[in-house]
A and B are shown apart, each in its own frame.
Chain A
Amino acid sequence: MSEQDNAIERDVMEYDFAIVGGGPAGLGCAIRLKQRLPEASICLLEKGSEIGAHILSGCVMEPQPLDELMPSWRDTPPAICVPAGRDEFRLLTRQRSFRLPTPPQMHNAGNFIVSLGELCKQLAAHAESLGVEVFPGFPGRRVLVAGEGAEARVIGVRCGDMGVEADDTPDGRPGPNFAAGVDIHAGTTILAEGCRGSLAKQMIARFGLDRDAAPQTYGLGFKELWQLPSGRTTPGLIQHTVGWPMDNQTYGGSFLYHLDEDRLYIGYVVGLDYEDPRFSPFEAFQQFKHHPEIAALLEGGEIVSSGARTIIEGGLQALPRMDMPGALLIGDAAGTLNVPKIKGVHQAFRSAMLAADHLADSGSPAGFDSAFRNSAGGRELHKVRNIRPGFYRGLWLGMANAALETVLGGRSPWTLHTRADWDSLETRATAKAHGEQAAMAADWQAERVLPPRDRLASVYFANTAHEESQPVHLRVADTSICATRCAEDYGNPCTRFCPVGVYEMVDDGEGGRRLQINASNCVHCKACDIKDPYQIIDWVTPEGGSGPNYQTL
C-alpha cells in the first residue's frame, strides 16, 4: 500500500463478515450466513452503481442450489426468466450448419434462461430484508492484511476513494469533492468478485494460493440482447454452435438463448489461449452474426444492450486454494465454473452456501478449501476437468476427448494440464509465416451490415460511464514497451482483444507511436489483465459506480 494511501484519515466500520462482490456467490453467501447466524453483522460491497450493473452472463441456470437457498424465487422470478425448452448443438461451416448430437452437459431440461443481473437484484432485496447491509457504488479497492509471514491474516477491505483527480502520478490526488474510502474490518472477508477479481488476484499472489495449481485459463464472452421482429424466436430454445467463424485451432463458440417477447440473447465465447496475435475476438463475434442462418434470424432487429466479460475456464486443475487466514474465495473469484456446461451460477451458489455453512459451523475459513473440493461442487469440477484442456489439440480431437471423458464420467486416471493464456501468443513473425492474415479470418465477410458497426458503437449499448477526471484504472507498468518490443513482437494485441477499444496506438506527434488508454470505455471484463503477453497490465477498481450499467442482460 502506498504511503499516500495510508496517510489518509479513514473511518473504520466493523462487521463480522465483509463480502466483496454482489453477484450470485456474494449474495448467496450473505443470505446463507444470515440464515445460519441471524445476529451476525454482514456488509456486502459492490463496485457497480447498482446490483446487476456489472453482471453479464449467458445465462442458463441450474436451479437446484437456488431452490435450496431461496425457494421463493420461483414465486417472483426475475424480469427475464424463461424455462428451458429444446437444446440444439450445431456445427457451422461458412454457409451452412449441421446439427450434432447434443452433449449430455448441454441438456437443459429443468433449467431456466435468466437475466443474472435481474436475479441478483432480487437476491439483494432478500439479503437486505434479512439485515445484510448492501452497498452498491462502493468498490473493494484493496485487502487489509495484518501481520507478516506466517502470522499474516486478512482483517478486512479498504473501499475505494471517491473524488480522486488524475495528475502525473498513477494514483492521482484528492480533488475538491474527495471522500476517503472507509476501512471495513471484518472477522472474515469473503472475496466474491467473479472472474479475475482484482482483490482475489492480490490475495492469490500474497498467500501463494496458486502454488499447487496449474495456470488459470479464461475465455472472453460477448453478449447482446436483441429485439427481433415478431415470430422469429422460439422461446426457451437454447442453441450452441462451434465451427465457423473460428478455425479448428481456436476454442470458441456461440450461444443463442431465445426469450419471450421476441427477444434473444446472442453471444460468443473465445478461449483466451488463442495464438494468432492478429485475431480480434470482437470481430469473430460480429462475423458469427453474419453467418447466413444467423443473419436471417437477426435481420430487421435491434440491439437493446450489449457487453462483455471474461469467463474462468481453468477448472479443477487451476483452482487455487480457497481459504487463507481471515478470508475465503468463492464462486468464480476462485474459479468454480463448469466449462463444458458453460454454467457457473449453480456452482457459485454451491460454493457460497458451503462457505457460509463452513463459517457458521467452524468459525474460521481454515478447511474450506478441502470442504469445497470434497463437496458436490468440487466433484462436479473433477468430473469435467479434462474436457477443456483437450481442446488444446484443436476442435476435433477436443470433441473426441470430450466424448471419451463424458463416457468415463471423468474417471480417467490422468489429469490434463493447462497453459497460461498470456503466454500462448505466437509472435507476429511466426503468425505471418502461417499466412498473411489470421487463419480463421480467411473467409470472413469483408463488409459487415448488422449493428454494431464497431467496438465504439457496441460500447454505446453497455451504458458504460467513468467520471472523466479520475486517474486511469488500467495500470500499465511500462508503456515504453508498447511502441517498441510489443509492436515488433505481437503488433499490440491489446488493441484487438479489448472488447471496447480501450487501448489504441496513436501518433505521438513526434513521428512515432504511443499507447492511448481510453479508460472510460472499459466494461470491466478483465481481458487485458489476463491476455497481455508481458503481464504488465493491472486492472484496479475505478471510482465506485463507474463502469457498465447493464440492464436485463
Chain B
Amino acid sequence: MKILVGIKRVIDYNVRVQVNREGTGVVKDGVKMSINPFDEIAIEEALRMKESGAASEVVAVSIGPEAAQQQLRTALAMGADRALLFTSDDEIQPLTAARGLLAVVEKEDPGLVLLGKQAIDDDANQVGQMLAALWQRPQATFVSALEFNDGSAKATREVDAGLETIEVDLPAVITVDLRLNEPRFVKMPDIMKAKRKPLDIRPFAELGVELPPQLETGRYEPPPRRQGGVKVESVEALVAALKDKGILS
C-alpha cells in the first residue's frame, strides 16, 4: 500500500510569534521554520507502517514556498521514499490545499493519506476533512491509535468526552493527534542519503486547481492583555464573587 503524507512548513513551535509593526502579518524574517509538529507524527506513523510491512512506499507532499524543500528533505531523512513539492508563494487556504491534495491523490492513488490534525500557524483543522469529502472517502480525525486489518482500519480518536473508536474502509484520510507516536530523530547518515532521494518540484498551478472563494484576511493583532481584577478579603467573598459571575452555582 502506498501512503501519502501531507506536511506543511510552519514557524517552529519554540519561536515566540510576533505581529509585524503594520499589523498585516506575523514576523517571518530570520525566524526558524520547521515541519508542522503534527505532520511529523504523521510521517512517523507512515514509517512505522512501512517498517511493519503494512505499507510499501511513503510519499511526502507539501504545498508551499520553494524553501519547503528543507522540510521535505527532513521527511526523506526520517525515511520517506519520495517527496513532492508544489510551489506557491501565495497563502494557500485549506480548501485550496485540499483540492490540490485531491489532484495529487488522483495521480498517486494511495491506500491511505495521513495528515497532522492542524497546522500550528493557522490552527484551521480543516484540510484532512475537506480532502476526505472531495475524495468521497472516510475520515478519522484526531487519531491517537490505529489498527489495520485487511482493507480497513480501526481508529481511536481523542474527543472531548474521551476516546471514540470508529472503523473506516480504505482508502481513507487520517489526521493525527499528539499522542499517536513520538517521531524519531533524524540521523546524520540518513540526512546524507536523503539528498539522493527523489524530490520533485513543480509549480502549484500545474495541479490545475479551481480556486474556491477565499477568506480575506485583514488585521493581525496580539491578544488583548489580561488585566488584573480585584483582591478579595476572604474565602466567603471569593465564593460569593464566583457565584455572582455564574462560575459557581
Q: A49-B12, A49-B32, A461-B16 are in contact. Are A261 and B188 (CB under 8 A)?
A: no
> Which residues does chain A contribute within 8 Å of B54, judged by CB atoms?
none
CB neighbours of A463 from chain B (8 A)? 14-16
**Min C-beta distance of A178 to chain B, whole Å:** 8
B18 close to chain A: CB less than 8 A: yes
Point out the residues of chain B lying under 8 angstroms from A88, CB to CB.
none
Asked if A351 is at the interface (CB within 8 A of a chain B CB), the reply is no
> Do B12 and A549 have beta carbons less than 8 Å apart?
yes
CB-contacts of A438-491 with B (<8 A)? 460-461, 463, 465
Which of B12, B21, B185, B189 is close to A11, meaning CB atoms less than 8 Å apart? B189
B182 — which chain A residues lie within 8 A by C-beta? 176-177
Q: Does B30 contact A162, Cβ atoms closer than 8 Å? A: no
In the complex, A52 Cα to B191 Cα: how many Å? 20
- In the complex, the answer to whether B185 meets A162 with C-beta atoms within 8 Å is yes
B residues 28-77 touching A (CB-CB < 8 Å): 29-32
Closest Cβ–Cβ distance, residue A301 to chain B (whole Å):
13
Asked whether any CB of chain B lies closer than 8 Å to the CB of A40, the reply is no
A13–B191 alpha-carbon span in the complex (Å): 12
Nearest CB in chain A: distance from B66 CB, A: 13
What distance in Å separates the Cβ of A411 from its nearest Cβ neighbour in chain B? 44
The contact string, 1 if C-beta is below 8 Å from chain A, for chain B 174-214, is 00000000111111110110000000000000000000000
Interface string of A34-64 (1 = CB under 8 A from B): 0000000000000001101100000000000
Interface residues of A in 124-160 (CB under 8 A from B): 133, 135, 137-138, 159
Bound together, the chains give a CA A137 to CA B32 distance in angstroms of 13
Instruction: State whether the Cβ of A209 lies closer than 8 Å to any Cβ in chain B.
Output: no
Name the A residues within 8 Å of B29 (CB-CB).
79, 552
Residue B32 contacts which of A115, A118, A461, A551 (CB distance < 8 angstroms)? A551
Contact B188 A177 (CB under 8 A): no
Does B191 lie within 8 Å of A135, measured CB to CB?
Answer: yes
Q: How far does the alpha carbon of A227 sit from the alpha carbon of B31 in the complex, in Å?
A: 17
| B185→A177 contact, CB < 8 A | yes
> Contacts of A13 on B, CB cut-off 8 Å?
188-189, 192
Residues in A with CB closer than 8 Å to B184 are 177, 179
Q: Are B15 and A133 neighbours in the complex by a CB distance under 8 Å?
A: no
**A552 and B14 form a contact (CB under 8 A):** no
Question: Shortest beta-carbon distance, B226 to chain A, in Å?
Answer: 16
**Closest chain A residue, CB of each to CB of B34:** A49
A227, B18: Cα distance in complex, Å? 12
How many angstroms from the CA of A118 to the CA of B186 in the assembled complex?
25
Cβ–Cβ contact B12 & A118, under 8 A: no
Chain A residues lying within 8 Å of B32, measured Cβ to Cβ, are 49-50, 53, 549, 551
If A177-B184, A549-B12 touch, does A182 touch B189 (CB 8 Å cutoff)?
A: yes
A68 to B194 Cα, complex, angstroms: 34
- Shortest distance from the beta carbon of B119 to any chain A beta carbon, whole Å: 19
A12, closest chain B residue (CB): B189
B124 to A: closest C-beta gap in Å: 25
Q: Which of chain A's residues have a CB closer than 8 A to the CB of B187?
A: 11, 179, 182
B189 contact set on A, CB distance < 8 A: 11, 13, 182
Q: Which of A360-415 contact B (CB under 8 A)?
A: none
User: Would you call A320 an interface residue if the criterion is a C-beta within 8 Å of the partner chain's C-beta atoms?
Assistant: no
Chain B hits for A117, CB < 8 A:
30
Report whether A138 and B188 are in contact in the complex, using a CB–CB cutoff of 8 Å. yes
Interface residues of B in 143-186 (CB under 8 A from A): 182-186
By a CB distance below 8 angstroms, the chain A residues around B16 are 460-461, 463
Residues 94-126 (chain A) with a chain B CB within 8 angstroms:
115, 117-118, 121
Q: Given A13-B189, A135-B188, A179-B184, are A115 and B30 also a contact pair (CB < 8 Å)?
A: yes
Q: How far is the CA of A132 from the CA of B21 in the complex (A)?
A: 37
> Which of A176, A179, A261 has the largest count of B CB atoms less than 10 A from its CB?
A179
Mark each residue of chain B from 75 to 108: 1 if its CB lies under 8 Å from any CB of chain A, else 0: 0000000000000000000000000000000000
**Nearest chain B CB to A453 CB, angstrom units:** 15
What is the bound-complex CA distance between A258 and B182, given in angstroms? Answer: 44
Task: Across the interface, name the chain B residue whose C-beta is closest to A464.
Answer: B14
User: Contact: A182 with B188, CB < 8 Å?
Assistant: yes
List of B residues within 8 angstroms of A460 by Cβ = 16
8 Å CB contact of B30 from A135, A163, A182, A552: A552
**Which of chain B's residues have a CB closer than 8 A to the CB of A551?**
15, 30-32
A17 to chain B, nearest CB (A): 16
Most buried by B among A50, A182, A227: A50
B14 touches A549 (CB 8 A): yes
Q: How far is the CA of A13 from the CA of B184 in the complex (A)?
A: 20
Q: Is A304 an interface residue (CB 8 A)?
A: yes
- What is the CB-to-nearest-CB distance from A478 to chain B, in angstroms, rounded to a whole number? 33
B194 to chain A, nearest CB (A): 12
Determine the chain B residues whose CB is within 8 A of the CB of A52 once the complex forms.
Answer: 30
* A13 vs B247: C-alpha distance when bound (angstroms): 62
Q: Which residue of B lies closest to A549 (CB)?
A: B14
Pick the contact of A79 from B14, B30, B183, B188 — CB < 8 Å? Answer: B30
A11: chain B residues within 8 A (beta carbon): 187-189
B183 proximity list for chain A (CB < 8 A): 177
Assess the A163–B15 pair: CB atoms within 8 A: no
- Minimum C-beta distance from B68 to chain A (A): 15
When distances are taken between beta carbons in the complex, the residues of chain A under 8 Å from B18 are: 304
CA A163 to CA B14, docked complex, whole Å: 18
Question: Can you list 23 A-B contacts (CB < 8 A)?
Answer: A11-B187, A11-B188, A11-B189, A13-B188, A49-B12, A53-B32, A79-B30, A133-B192, A137-B186, A138-B188, A159-B188, A163-B185, A177-B182, A182-B187, A227-B21, A304-B18, A460-B16, A461-B16, A463-B15, A463-B16, A551-B15, A551-B31, A552-B29
A-B CB proximity, top 4 nearest: A162-B185, A179-B185, A552-B30, A182-B188
Known: A182-B189, A463-B14. 4 other contacts (CB 8 A): A49-B12, A163-B185, A176-B182, A304-B18
B interface residue numbers (CB < 8 A to A): 12, 14-16, 18, 21, 29-32, 182-189, 191-192
